Amino acid sequence: MCYKYGNTSTELHVRRRTSLTLHARRAPNRSAMAKNAAATADAGDEVVHDFSPLLLVHRSGRLERPLAMPPVPPGHDAATGVVSKDVSLSPFSFVRLYRPPETGAGAGKKLPVLVYFHGGGFVIGSAASAAYHRCLNDLTAACAAVAVSVDYRLAPEHLLPAAYEDSLAALKWVLSAADPWLAERADLSRIFLAGDSAGGNICHHLAMHHDFRGAAGRLKGIVLIHPWFWGKEPVGEEPRPGRAEGVEQKGLWEFVCPDAVDGADDPRMNPTVEGAPGLENLACEKVMVCVAEGDFLRWRGRAYADAAARARGPEPAVELFESEGVGHVFYLYEPATEKARELLQRIMAFVRAE
């Protein structure tokens, strides 16, 4: 048997059964047998890939996701008045739809659509997790939008491009207005993509995808929140080569995308590397990049915003917003703080602006 993850494979060899003669005067050494069994079990439970706290892969093939959260059901959110439901798109993916209350800013109007992609390094996360469900309720109410939270396949069970493929399929489903909530309430000429960390990476990928360019004029903007980009050469004050943070980012990317071209300089991970498709090709009217002062990924976010502004001409619709004194995706776990509310208000203004 062979368990293979990325470019690393671990093998368990099974010997052919052979005959064994036991002499009456020599009983088996049960203590030694127990020790051997324990040693074998310990070897099988050895961690061969450690991406703590996101994922640990054991030699036996067992996976641990320490930060994984149990799912919560859709329904009515008493705090915001938002209603949600799940829609299955395939045997392995679904979306959670959110509809704001009938009163307020969006009453009686067709509403913008906010398509959200969760983060988690492509190895954890779910549209049904408590943190994302709460976040989408808040975003739906604040933006007065119909929101679509996309659940996609995760690595290592499903290596990239599986997450990109599921996300593209979900976006095409939104454009089809196949669900009554979209047909009745959504203005499909005002679609926004948003996502955090790996979800921000997905937003960029979709906005650059040739299939989606056919929907030009529908994609109003993208919101990249603490996006997960990286590269071989540091930018800004990023950790120098060999530092733990950089090694971890490179290792995780090559684990989830073993066929990456040139490792961390694959354009999907490093959209500003020389030779990557130009950001003038983004199929959207405007771009918002959100970074956090305490997040070492902030330098990549800033570099992306700078490159997008340079590529999009003399009047670039590119906004960079930095949250001071906080870290990566802080708003998911501290939603009641002033900084989280400030970030929510900036995203709301970006989506609701004409």
Number of separate domains in the chain: 2
Both 188 and 264 in one domain: the answer is yes
Q: State the pLDDT at residue 213.
A: 64
Mean pLDDT, contiguous 10-residue spans, the chain (354 residues): 35 34 43 47 81 95 95 98 98 98 80 98 98 99 98 98 98 96 96 98 94 67 98 87 70 96 96 96 95 96 97 84 98 98 98 89
101 within domain boundaries: yes
243 within domain boundaries: yes
- What CATH code is carried by the domain that includes residue 90? 3.40.50.1820
Nearest to 207 by CA among 312, 330, 135, 87: 312
Extended beta strands in the chain, E state: 2-5, 8-11, 47-51, 55-58, 63-64, 83-90, 93-99, 111-117, 146-151, 186-196, 219-225, 286-292, 318-323
Say whether 197 is catalytic: yes
Q: What is the reported pTM? A: 0.86
54 within domain boundaries: yes
Residue 112 structural domain:
83-352
Name the helix (H) or strand (E) containing 167.
helix 162-176
Q: State the pLDDT at residue 2.
A: 37
Both 60 and 93 in one domain: the answer is no
Contact 309, 272 (CB under 8 A): no
Both 185 and 96 in one domain: the answer is yes
116 within domain boundaries: yes
Both 95 and 28 in one domain: the answer is no
Both 52 and 87 in one domain: the answer is no
111 within domain boundaries: yes
Both 94 and 201 in one domain: the answer is yes
Both 101 and 220 in one domain: the answer is yes
Q: From the candidates 84, 129, 167, 197, which is the catalytic residue?
A: 197
Both 56 and 171 in one domain: the answer is no
Both 58 and 98 in one domain: the answer is no
Both 173 and 272 in one domain: the answer is yes
